[in-house]
Structures are given as C-alpha cells and as structure tokens.
Amino acid sequence: MRRAIVYLIPFTWLLVLFLVPFLIVFKISLSDVALARPPYTPQLDLSQGLSGILDFVRELDFENFIFLTTDSLYWKAYLSSLKIAAVSTFLTLLVGYPMAYAMARAREDWRPTLLMLIILPFWTSFLIRVYSWMGILGTEGYLNQLLLWLGIVSTPLQILNTNWAVYIGIVYTYLPFMILPIYSQLDRLDGALLEAAEDLGCSRASAFWLVTFPLSRPGVIAGCFLVFIPTLGEFVIPSLLGGSSTLMIGKVLWEEFFSNRDWPVASAVAVVLLIILIIPIILFQKNQQKQAEAEA
Amino acid sequence: MIRFENVTKRFGSFVAIDNLSLDIYEREFFALLGPSGCGKTTMMRMLAGFENPSEGNIELDGADIVDVPPNKRAVNMMFQSYALFPHLSVHDNIAFGLKREGMAKDKISARVAEMLRLTRLEKFASRKPHQISGGQRQRVALARSLAKAPKLLLLDEPLGALDKKLREETQFELMDIQEKTGTTFVIVTHDQEEAMTVASRVAVMDAGVLKQVATPSQIYENPNSRYVADFIGDVTILEGRARKEGNRYELAWADGQPPIVAQSALEIGPGDTCYYAIRPEKVEIHHDKPEDDNVLQGKVIDIGYLGNISTYHVQLANGQTIRAQNFNTERSTQQAFTWDDTVWVNWTDRCGILLAN
C-alpha cells in the first residue's frame, strides 16, 4: 500500500503536469483557427452528450501537420534549430571539458570553491544575464570598445544579432550542464591508471587520449545531451541575441502563438518539436542506464 | 643490476629515504619489507620513475636512470590497486603496452596469447576487468606488466587485496613465473610472511633506512638488531649485561634469575648493555626440571592453540614472560600443559641471538 503511494506520486505528477497538458496541446493542434476566445474550434460541448463528443471528434484533423510540411519555413526552422543546437553543444564541450579537467586536477581543498563558482551564475536571473550579454556584444558594447582600444579592429564588429551571439549566449548559459557531469567522471578517475599508462609507455598526451578521455565519455555524453535537448527548443537567447536571420523553432513557436494567434499551428509545431526531442531524450536515458550498469 | 647510491628523498622537510645505498642483482626476487611509511613505496616509485631522488644516483644496468621518464624505462610496475583500464578488455589491457611500442599486430596477439597462457587467463580474454574476480584481476595486472618483457618488474603490495588462501597460492605462482621469465622482481610489502616466502633476498626498512639486507633465513635466524628480530616473526627480547666466559657469553638479565648463556661471534665489552632474542619455537617446555643450559621456572598464564602448534606464555617469578611453542604432533585434544601449571622452559646456548643494539 505504502509502496503504491510512493509510485503514485511521480506518476500523478507526470500525468497532471505533463501528459494532460500535452493532450490539450495535441487536441488544439488538431483544431482549426477561429476568431473566438479561445481562438480555435471545435469546442467540446459536454451538454450535448455522446453526440456532442462525436461531433467534436469528427471536426478534428491533421490539417495543421500537413501545413507544416508545405511551408518551408517550418522544416527550415527545425533544421536550423538542430544545427544551432549541435554547433553550440560542440562549442560548449570545447569550452567545458578543459574547465572540468582543470577542476578535477585542482587541489582537493579548492574543488568545492571551484564547483561553487560554476553554479554561482544560477543565482542571478537568467534573463538579466542574457540581457547583459547585449551590453557586452553590441556595436557600442564593452567587447568592441576593448577591441578598438587595443587596436585589434578599426571598425566595431557586428556580433550582436548574429548567430555568433546566439552561440556565445548558449555556451555561457549551458556551460555548467556540460562541466558538472564531466567533472564528476574525471573526479572519480583513479590517478594510478594514468601512472600505469605512463609506465606502459604512454606520453602524457597519449595517456589522456587513451585513458582519461575514454573514461570520461559517459560524462561527455550526458553533458552533451543536457545542453543539446534544452537548446533545441531555446527561445529567449535567439530572440534577444540573435538577428532576423537566426531561425529557431522556439522563435517560430512564439510568433505563431503570440503574433499570429494561430494556436492550432503553434500547437502542431510544439508537438513535432516534442517528437524530435524524444529521440535524444531516449538516447540520453540509455546512456545513463549503461553507465549505471557499468558502475554496478 | 640496480644500484642505489647514497639516495636521499625528501618531501618538504620529511625525509622519506635517508642516504641509502643498495644493490639488487639480476634475476633476483628482491623484497622491500617494512611497516607503512618506512619509505619502501618511495623506493619503488623512484625505480618506476614517478619520483626523483633529491640526492644520489639510481643505476639500471650501469646507466643512470634518474632523468629517464617512466615511459622510457625498461621497468614495469604492477600497481597495488592493479590499475587495470576499466574500459578495455583483459586482452586489450595486456596489449596496451605492446601497442605503445608500435609492435606489429600479429606479434602483439602472439605475445598476449603467451601472457594469457602464463597467467591461465585464456578464457577471460574478452571480459572487462569488472567482470572477473579479484584473483583474476591480479593476474591480468601481472600479465600486463610482464607483457613488455621488462628488465625489472616492480610489484607494489601485489597480493594485499586477496584473501589468505588465494594469497598463498598466488605467492607460489609468482615465484614460478619469476623463474620462468627470468625477470628481476622487486616486491614491496608489509607482510613479512609474503616477503619470506617469495623473495630470495629481503631488505628490512625502517624510517627511510635499510636495517638489514639478507636472505630470508639469515634475516630470521641472524637478525642484526632488535628492530629486525622483532619485526620478523615472534620473539622474546631480554635486556642485560654480557660477560665473556670462554667461548660463550653469560648474560645477567634479571635479579634472582640464572644468567643466560649464549654463543655469539659479537664482540661485546664487559658491562655493556646488550639484548638477547629468543624465538618461541626454540624454547622447550617441561614439567620436570631438565639438565641443560638456560633453564627457567615459571607458570603458564596463556595458551594460544593454533591446531598445528600451541604457544605457551610462561611467566617467570620476576614478571618476564617467555613464549614457548610446541608442535602438536600427537592427535589429542588433551593438552600436556594447562593454565597455572608450574613448568620449566629451556633452550640451548645456540638458540638465542645476542644483539648489540
């Protein structure tokens, strides 16, 4: 009985806060747009009884999903999101791995402080941190002022409102999600393994590629998924830092909802996004499971 | 083959190895024995190249190796934790060092197969380290460190993680393998039985200094100091003053007790303080007073029954305890001596060792 309650809590949570909202969104995605409040039709009228439900179901169709395939904007936005998510995941890995490595190599008594510093930015509002990047990256921003003052450039660089600004914003925001899992792997690495590798003829560098990196791979994979999955649907960073040419599905979604007030199409976009995300989420779960088994 | 020449190693202000010189010969099974913190692991790490001496030279085959990095030394090490690569199979673990040498593929697989056969691991070649038992892991570690056919193999507490039975089996395996391969083995251990069993020569270390370097039987029967006598095996140590009587010494060691007579080649001045070490298996125990040297009367206060032997703690009138061991040669649950029995212990003048320090 008690065990049943323990199981029930997470399932109820998922049911109420994930499955039910998803079904509502899915239902809207099968509806048609209407000048009404809420702005879609049909509405379910339970006072009509069974015939009302049947009428309602008959009105639903996959029109909006078909529409997504006819307008190139949508699949381009999906592709562009995948590309931006993939590139920024890679960049985050490039920046995050050396940081995680340095942390794992740091003196024991320094590590808690370093960990704290990695987590510290979360204590400030995400929006404020992204806004401050606008102040840094703008043509009049601090970065350009510094570069001009150093004489590296003669005219200010256009960074803000390009994809580069989006990459910088994403790498900055999601860096902790990359560092922490890699760090936790590297931290557990037995130093004797590296000595053994050296003893058997490895140079320091080849010991890294043959021992350290393969052993940190579960952390790298976990970190990549933790960055890739939320980045794919990211909306705030591309809309604040990106330009008009930055095409991401999160932005499209927002515009469909709030600018076009086309809730059914927006819902269809959201459902497709979720389906796309399920693949990496499942892969992530598999990776975690495999790691748990390897450690058991 | 290996020569430590006035080697000193300091960690900050702590002196781990203190002006130590030592020769280890080819094809030898050499044991560094000592309590933890005595510097034996530091010695080994200096041989492997993970530590450099603060002063002095280390030679391997006549060449100074102090500046040679670990990956360029013809020395391999078997780590205490085994340090097997968890992401590689048994086969790939053993092949790891060979691949770094750039050896041809078919030669590598032949060599790995040979190592697997030597350590009886053929069946486990494709397993990962976490899929095999502790004893098998130990053998993988050994195979991996032997694969490159090093001139010198270092073993850092190689059997520490195994249970007693497996440890004893493995000790003999190690000796077999050492003999078959002809490699010089240097083993570091704090387990005196292990050192005595496997090694052809043992160095007893304490606080960064070599106390004695000799064969196991010499170390046991002719320790050169109280420290060595006490560290290796069971011993009772008495303190007294010796006086030369013909070719023997007479040791006055306690009021009201007869002096102990001992043969010794040591030169001890009259009235100098010296020590006398006697091992329990050399002490006989009797109900009636025997006619012999070194006869003392006492009372049995403790009995340690081990099955094959019994150890009796016999307390003398002055409070000193002498331990005596008897082999239980007859199958009987009835012990010849029991608590509070008044007994006589004795040993001949050749059984104990006179020590100057």
Report the residue count for chain B: 357
- By C-alpha distance, the chain B residue nearest A203 is B71
The predicted pLDDT at position B172 comes to: 87
Whether ipTM tops 0.90, in short, is: no
Nearest to A169 by CA among A136, A142, A123: A136
């850092």: which residue's tokens?
B156
Find the CB nearest A198 among B70, B81, B87: B70
- The answer to whether B68 contacts chain A (CB < 8 Å) is no
Q: Classify residue B27 as left (phi > 0), alpha (psi -120 to 50) or beta.
A: left
Taking contacts as CB-CB distances below 8 angstroms, the residues of chain B near A202 are 71, 100
Q: What's residue A296's pLDDT?
A: 63
Of B227, B209, B204, give the one whose Cα is nearest residue B17.
B209
From the list A193, A200, A214, the residue facing B100 with the nearest CB is: A200
Query: Distance (Å, rounded) from C-alpha B172 to C-alpha B266?
Result: 36
Q: Nearest Cβ partner of B77 from A193, A199, A203?
A: A199
The alpha carbon of residue B132 is apart from the nearest alpha carbon of chain A, in Å, by 13
Query: B49: nearest CA in chain A?
Result: A199
Tell me if chain A has a CB within 8 Å of the CB of B93: no
CB contact under 8 A, A199 and B81: no
- Summarised one tens digit per residue, pLDDT across range B144-175 is 998 988 989 999 988 877 788 888 888 888 88
pLDDT, tens digit, 9 for 90 and up, residues B297-307: 888 888 888 88
Q: Kindly report the nearest CA distance between residue A179 and chain B, in angstroms.
A: 22
pLDDT of A111 reads: 93
Q: What is the pLDDT of residues B51-91, one digit of tens each?
A: 999 999 999 888 888 889 888 888 999 998 899 999 999 99
Please list every residue in chain B whose beta carbon sits closer than 8 Å to the beta carbon of residue A215.
Answer: 86-87
Encoded amino acid at B110, one letter: A
User: Out of A190, A203, A211, whose CB is closest to B81?
Assistant: A190
Domains along the sequence of chain B with CATH: 2-229 (3.40.50.300), 237-355 (2.40.50.140)
Is 80 exceeded by the pLDDT of residue B209? yes
* Whether pLDDT at B194 is above 70: yes
Residue type, B53: P
List the one residue out of B188, B70, B189, B67 whose CA is nearest residue B58: B67
Q: Is A152 exposed, middle or buried (0-12, 13-18, 19+ CB in 10 A)?
A: exposed
A155 residue type, one letter: T
Residues of B in contact with A218 (CB under 8 A): none
pLDDT of amino acid B1: 85
Question: Angle between the B90-100 and B134-146 helix axes, to the nearest 10 degrees?
Answer: 20
A-chain residues within 8 Å CB-CB of B77?
A: 195-196, 199
- Between CA B105 and CA B93 the distance in angstroms is 15
- Tell which of A200, A216, A220, A290 to mutate to test the B interface (max B CBs under 10 Å): A200
**Alpha-carbon distances of A35 from A31, A55, B5, B86, B340, rounded to whole Å:** 13, 20, 95, 63, 109
- The rounded mean pLDDT for chain B is 87
Is the CB of residue A192 less than 8 Å away from at least one CB of chain B? yes
Say yes or no: B41 contacts chain A, CB-CB below 8 A: no
d(CA B300, CA B319): 12
Contacts of A294 in chain B (CB under 8 A): 86, 130
Q: What is the pLDDT along chain A (296 residues), one digit of tens a residue?
A: 788 888 888 899 989 998 999 999 998 898 888 877 788 888 877 777 788 788 888 888 888 888 888 888 888 999 999 999 999 999 999 999 999 999 999 999 999 999 999 999 888 898 999 999 999 998 888 999 999 999 888 888 888 888 899 999 999 999 999 999 999 999 999 989 999 999 999 999 999 999 999 999 989 999 999 999 999 988 889 989 988 888 899 888 888 888 888 889 999 999 999 888 888 889 888 888 887 877 66
Closest-approach residue (CA) in chain B for A291: B87
Cα B353 to Cα A165: distance, rounded to the nearest angstrom? 84
User: Given A193, A199, A206, which is nearest B85 (Cβ)?
Assistant: A193
Separation CA A229–CA A282 (nearest Å)? 11
Residue A195 with chain B: CB contacts under 8 Å: 48, 50, 70, 77, 79, 83
Tell me if B256 sits within 8 A of B317, measured CB to CB.
Answer: yes
Residue B19 has pLDDT above 90, yes or no: no
Q: What fold, for A75-295?
A: MetI-like fold (1.10.3720)
Residue in A199, A201, A215 closest to B101 by CB: A201
Name the minimum distance, in Å, from the CA of A294 to any CA of chain B: 8
CB contact under 8 A, B50 and A195: yes
Substitution target in B85, B89, B112, B155 with the highest count of A β-carbons within 10 Å is: B85
Taking residues B107-136, report their average pLDDT: 90
Note whether B313 and B300 are within 8 A (CB): yes
User: Tell me: the pLDDT tens digits for B286-331?
Assistant: 888 888 888 888 888 888 888 888 888 988 888 888 888 888 887 7
- For A237, B329, B335, the CA distances from B332, given in Å and listed in that order, are 88, 9, 7
Contact assignment for A200 to B130 by CB distance below 8 Å: no
* The predicted structure's pLDDT at residue B119: 86
Neighbours of B36 (CB within 10 A): 8
C-alpha distance from B79 to closest chain A C-alpha (Å): 7
Residue B105, amino acid: K
